[in-house]
Amino acid sequence: MYHCTVDHHRVSFSSLKELLAKASPKKSGDELAGIAADTELQRVSAQICLANVHLKDFLNETFVPYETDEVTRLIIDSHHSEAFQEISSLTIGELRELLLSEKADSEFLSRIQLGLTPEMVSAVSKVMRIQDLILVCQKCRTVTQFNNTIGLPGQLSVRLQPNHPSDNPLGIATSIMDGLLLGCGDAVIGINPASDNPAVVRILLELMDGIIQEYQIPTQHCVLTHITTTMELMNAGAPVDLIFQSIAGTQKANESFGIHLQMLREAKQAGNELNRGKLGNNCMYFETGQGSALSADAHFGVDQQTCEARAYAVAREFEPLLINSVVGFIGPEYLYDGKQITRAGLEDLFCGKLLGLPMGCDICYTNHAQADQDDMDVLLTQFAVAGGAFIMGVPGSDDIMLNYQSTSFHDALFIREALHLKPAPEFQAWLEQMQLINHQGKIRNNTSGLLQGFSSKFLSAD
Amino acid sequence: MANIWEWLSQYTDARVGIPRHGVSQSTEAQLKFQLDHAKARDAVWAELDFVWLAEQLPMDSIAIQSQAQSRSQYLTRPDLGRKLNSDSSNRVAGLEKTQVAIVIADGLSTTAISAGITELFSELKKLESISYKSQKLFLAEQARVALGDEIGELLEAELCIMIIGERPGLSASDSIGIYLTYEPRIGKSDANRNCISNIRPGGLTPKEACFKMNYLINEFYHRGLSGVTIKDLSDEILISDDGVSKLENKD
């Protein structure tokens, strides 16, 4: 039991799990699950109570049973008691203050990374405002490499997302060209295929590989298909750079995605053996999102943000090049409006960064959520100020395959210009060499059409 | 440069080649986006006039409601949209048993239904596969796809045809989807259904949709089930019949 006294009233919570759920900023998904605070007073009372809980308590009370959940086992078994030593006496409230203090510089934050569990990180974020989250995020640094470098200070990378509703290679090539001309694609050129047919996926892999080879672009590609399909294609000799998978924070939710940890281990090993990365071997790409565990009926009474943070514990085991929280895609029954989407986006960035991940964000919304472009501009700006690693780039924000709105190539240009951020250094050098940007790093206004030979090689219908 | 992108737009509906001023999109492109978003938002939030709808249809219909009492509750509580309210459930339970339940539901796009239902329904009335079966038509308010399972259970139906407004995209806010469930009963999952999606001007025509539907329904009765194991091979039949595919994907 967890108790505290607020305004002379004694309030109690039966478990840490319940306390975190009640302390969570308002989300429609937690309400749908029936675990959210009933009143604003109860929410803040829970936050006050949570601030006094010791970090040690999180090591004694699991949120999902150890015996039946391999994600819990991973979290407990990989917990680093030496890294925890420096913070072991703190409460959640004191951890917040330490994180915000000057003592907690980048080096300190790296040092305690493996002593933090996802539940601790989620808990402390619940007593932090967005400005607190931003300040701590700015101090967290994770650098990863494949064919280029992701996550350097002053860098913001972009996943070029050239989806097409029928996987038409010409249509996809057209969107890729549009993105490259606007300086996007350094995080990855990544297609969500409409089809999960391996033959179609292979055509898309070869298309992207051909473009990257032809123009010697220092980036990597990925088709976001199920990990088993990618493994099958790797075995068949298809050109696979990054291995994609959606992951979640409980074993049952991962089972609903058709995966388990051993499968991820095997895939990573196979990717490493291909040894395609010119600079590094971070070959995994993960996507996550608050609400995925509830949607699979696999949340076990854990709030959606904490489930999400547990997914990051899964991710960090596999040292991904990229991981992004697809924050507004799931719909209003989980994140109702722009305010909830923005808060969730910053929470995810904070939890991921504190756990040591190269966090990106699919800053996005669906048409049945109460959100619009202005909300996305707010989240994009906060995300970039906080030092997020990458965003999506979709032509004109309109993903014609997945039917939702994400950030556009122009949004990427806007935020790079507004905050003086740059693409990956290797990609920046390529843009200069191709004369797509001028010596100040600005996109040229007079680009003379497509890259040379692009139409004849990649856009001829035969 | 405009010409290159005009030429390239034959390959994709993506918003490529948007004119740029500084780093920002042209005013025209920005307002076009806002216009499309406005249409999509209105499609979600507009009320569907069920009295008007009943008058448009050449068949008697029964009005029913889910447990979601408002549009905002419908959006945040999908579970309520899958259950009949007590009044509707009593009404359906009092009806005689029926082989085929046809449900027209607002779903996530009311404008899709108000704009497209008349033509689609007149094609549906010609379906051979259900022409000799007893049928009832329901008009369902604040409904999700699985609401048809409860109706099917109460009627002990062989088949539920759920015609529902699809979640609007930016380019198309007026798509209708049809979900077919053989032996619809409470607890059936999406894996037990077959879906015909993207029925709208510029997408699948009502005639094409009903051709597919007829094919699928015949397969259900033949194999005694619906769902992921039934593959829609109706395109190939069309090609083999007259040598021309009328149902090719438009890309």
Interface check for B80 against chain A (CB to CB < 8 A): the answer is: no
Instruction: Flag if B79 and A400 touch (Cβ within 8 Å).
Output: no
Q: What are phi and psi of B148, to 5 degrees?
A: -65, -25
Q: In whole angstroms, what separates CA A9 from the centre of its chain? A: 40
Q: Is residue A286 a contact partner of residue A323, using CB atoms and an 8 Å limit?
A: yes
Of B14, B75, B78, the CB nearest to A398: B14
pLDDT value at residue A323: 98
Query: SS3 for chain A, per residue?
Result: CEEEEECCEEEEECCHHHHHHHHCCCCHHHHHCCCCCCCHHHHHHHHHHHHCCECCHHHHCCCCCCCCCHHHHHHHHCCCHHHHHCCCCCEHHHHHHHHHCCCCCHHHHHHHHHHCCHHHHHHHHCCCCHHHHHHHHHHCCCCEECCCEECCCCECEEEECCCCCCCCHHHHHHHHHHHHHCCCCCCEEEECCCCCCHHHHHHHHHHHHHHHHHCCCCCCEEECCCHHHHHHHHHCCCCCCCEEEECCCCHHHHHHCCCCHHHHHHHHHHHHHHCCCCCCCCCEEEEECCCHHHHCCCCCCCCHHHHHHHHHHHHHCCCCCEEEEECCCCCCCCCCEHHHHHHHHHHHHHHHHHCCCCEEEECCECCCCECCHHHHHHHHHHHHHCCCCEEEEEHHHEECCCCEECCEHHHHHHHHHHHCCECCHHHHHHHHHCCCECCCCCECCCCCCCCCCHHHHHCCCC
Nearest to A229 by CA among A189, A200, A265, A260: A200
Across B70-85, average pLDDT = 95
Residues of A in contact with B109 (CB under 8 A): none
Identify the H or E element spanning A132: helix A130-139
Q: Verify whether the Cβ–Cβ distance B29 to A395 is below 8 Å.
A: no
Tell me the residues of chain B between 20 and 49 that have a Cβ less than 8 Å away from chain A. Answer: 20, 22-25, 29, 33-34, 36-37, 40-41, 43-44
Q: Assign a CATH topology to domain B50-238.
A: Rossmann fold (3.40.50)
State whether residue A422 is helix, strand or coil: strand
- Per-residue exposure over B189-203, b if at least 16 CB sit within 10 Å of its own CB, e if not: eeebbbbbebbbeeb
Dist CA A282 CA A223 (whole Å): 16
Tokens 């202005």 identify what position?
A374
Enumerate the residues of chain B whose CB falls inside 8 A of the CB of residue A172. Answer: 12
Of A181, A152, A162, nearest to A410 by C-alpha is A181
Cβ neighbourhood burial of A408 (10 Å; 0-12, 13-18, 19+): buried
Measuring CA to CA, which residue among B163, B156, B157, B180 is closest to residue B103?
B163
Residue of B94, B99, B120, B137 whose CA lies nearest to B204: B120
Q: Which residue of A lies nearest to B7 if distances are taken between CA atoms?
A: A174
**How would you write the pLDDT of chain A (462 residues) with one tens digit per residue?**
899 999 999 999 999 999 999 999 999 999 999 999 999 999 999 999 999 999 999 999 999 999 999 999 999 999 999 999 999 999 999 999 999 999 999 999 999 999 999 999 999 999 999 999 999 999 999 999 999 999 999 999 999 999 998 999 999 999 999 999 999 999 999 999 998 889 999 999 999 999 999 999 999 999 999 999 999 999 999 999 999 999 999 999 999 999 999 999 999 999 999 999 999 999 999 999 999 999 999 999 999 999 999 999 999 999 999 999 999 999 999 999 999 999 999 999 999 999 999 999 999 999 999 999 999 999 999 999 999 999 999 999 999 999 999 999 999 999 999 999 999 999 999 999 999 999 889 998 765 578 889 988 998 765
User: Distance (Å, rounded) from C-alpha B107 to C-alpha B144?
Assistant: 6
Contacts of A58 (CB under 8 A, 6+ apart): A16, A117, A119, A120, A123
For chain B, what is the mean pLDDT?
91
Query: What is the structure's pLDDT at B178?
Result: 97
CB contact under 8 A, B12 and A175: yes
pLDDT of residue B239 exceeding 90, the answer is no
Q: What's the confidence (pLDDT) of residue B229?
A: 81
Q: Which residues pair with A370 in a beta bridge?
A: A337
* Yes or no, beta carbons of A403 and B36 under 8 Å apart: no
Residues in B touching A450 (Cβ below 8 Å)? 4
- Predicted pLDDT at A171: 96
Does the structure show a pLDDT above 60 at B248?
Answer: no
Distance of residue B62 Cα from the nearest chain A Cα, in angstroms: 27
- The answer to whether the Cβ–Cβ distance between A168 and B79 falls below 8 Å is no
Query: In this structure, what DSSP letter does residue B45 have?
Result: H
The 10s digit of each residue's pLDDT in A373-403 is 999 999 999 999 999 999 999 999 999 999 9
pLDDT at B190: 84
B11 with A162: Cβ contact below 8 A = no
pLDDT at B159: 98
Would you say A96 and A127 are in contact if contact means Cβ atoms under 8 Å apart?
A: yes
Residues in chain B with CB shorter than 8 Å from the CB of A449 are 1, 4
B95 touching chain A per CB within 8 A: no
Helix axes A304-316, A70-77, angle to 10 degrees: 60
Q: A312: distance to nearest CA of chain B, Å? A: 26
Phi, psi of B197 (to 5 degrees): -115, 170
Checking if the pLDDT of B251 tops 70, the result is no
Could you tell me the CA-to-CA distances from A259 to A230, A301, B24 in Å, in that order?
Answer: 13, 22, 41
Q: Which domains does chain A have, with CATH numbers?
A: 2-139 (1.10.220.70), 144-433 (3.20.20.70)
Please tell me which of the candidates A172, A177, A400 has its beta carbon nearest to residue B171.
A400
Contact (CB, 8 A) for A369 and A328: yes
Confidence (pLDDT) at A277: 98
pLDDT at position B240 over 50: no
pLDDT score, position A395: 98
Nearest beta carbon to residue A168 from set B12, B43, B171: B12
Question: Does the beta carbon of B203 lie under 8 angstroms from any beta carbon of chain A?
Answer: no
Assigned token pair, A56: 């040690």
* HSE-CB of A404 using CA atoms within 13 angstroms: 23
Give the model's pLDDT for residue B202.
84
Residue among A166, A398, A449 minimizing CB distance to B249:
A166
What is the ipTM, given to two decimal places?
Answer: 0.94
Kind of pairing, strands A149-150 and B159-165?
Answer: unpaired
Instruction: Report the pLDDT value the prediction gives residue B235, as an integer from 0 to 100.
Output: 67
Whether residues A400 and B13 touch (CB distance < 8 A) is answered with yes
CA nearest B44 in A: which residue?
A368
Point out the least confidently predicted range of A331-340, A419-428, B1-10, B38-47: B1-10
Contacts of A396 in chain B (CB under 8 A): 14-16, 18, 25, 29, 33
Q: Where are the alpha helices (DSSP H) in A193-335?
A: 198-214, 227-235, 251-256, 261-274, 292-295, 304-316
- The C-alpha atoms of residue B111 and residue B69 are separated, in whole angstroms, by 19
**What pLDDT, on the 0 to 100 scale, is given for residue A452?**
87
List C-alpha distances in Å: A116 to A49, A120, A288, B76. Answer: 20, 6, 20, 33
Cross-chain CB nearest to A372 (options B15, B37, B108): B37
Q: Which chain A positions have a beta carbon within 8 Å of B37's beta carbon?
A: 367, 372-373, 405
Closest CB to B167 among A171, A366, A397 = A366
pLDDT score for A301: 97
B25–A373 C-beta distance less than 8 A? no
